[in-house]
Structure 1
Amino acid sequence: MVDEAGSPVGVSPFTQVPIEISVSVGKARPQVRELLRLERDAILPLDRKVDDPVELYVGDRLIARGELTEIEGDGSGRLGVRLTEVVDLRNGL
């Protein structure tokens, strides 16, 4: 059953609110002097390998892990994340 707006009856309106998810591919810990020397085309080494899982966060809460993948078909080289593990969020964020 749906209401006049087409939303399921009995479902909280908050389920329709968009949220921002951050994807962490790794961390770097340069010294300040190294950071100040960075120029265009410099490479900042991360603590992970290309094939390591990435982590998805809402705020500072880990919600899932996954693998980076290129989205096929649109020709733009855009990235996506294929989820491999999802945290149980039924008790809230």
Structure 2
Amino acid sequence: MSEDVKDLNVEELKEQKEESGETVKREIEFILDIPVELTVVVGKTRLLIQELLQLTEGSIVTLDRMAGEMAEVYVNNRLLGRGEVVVVNDRFAVRMKDIVTPQERVRKLS
């Protein structure tokens, strides 16, 4: 059994690596302008239709989370992480405290 053995050209490998890095950079730049939907869930509850129909302005709906508990942050309905609900310039915001690792995100896809 005969195999062709070639010399390793380190400079050529470096160029290929740089080119592949540039390709990845261009591919990433291509998707940076795609809009995604970010949703922050502060709590959930279940209501009967009768209870839903009885809601009026000023009604209080109790959620399943305690005040101050972290909210879940979703991007396009996929869990991104959890954060603390805060107020910035009279607007609600979320301070990210926990980000799901890329491995966890991939595992949840299967």
User: If the length of structure 1 is used for normalisation, what is the TM-score?
Assistant: 0.75
Number of residue pairs matched by the alignment: 81
Report the RMSD for the aligned CA atoms in angstroms.
Answer: 2.0
Q: State the partner residue of 2:49.
A: 32
Shift of 1:60: 2.4
Instruction: Say whether the 8 Å CA contact 1:65–1:83 is kept in structure 2.
Output: yes
Shift of 1:46: 0.5
Name the CA distance, whole Å, in 2 between partners of 1:35 and 1:16.
39
Shift of 1:86: 0.4
Q: State the partner residue of 1:5.
A: none
Of 59, 65, 75, the residue aligned with 1:48 is 65
List runs of 5+ in structure 2 lacking aligned partners.
1-21
Q: State the partner residue of 2:40.
A: 23
Q: State the partner residue of 2:4.
A: none
Q: Residue deviations 1:35-58, cap 9 Å, x none?
A: 111111111111111201100112
Structure with higher helix content: 2
User: If the length of structure 2 is used for normalisation, what is the TM-score?
Assistant: 0.65
Shift of 1:15: 2.5
Report runs of 4+ in structure 1 exceeding 6 Å deviation. Answer: 90-93
Name the CA distance, whole Å, in 2 between partners of 1:48 and 1:20.
23
Name the CA distance, whole Å, in 2 between partners of 1:79 and 1:39.
23
List runs of 5+ in structure 1 lacking aligned partners.
1-8
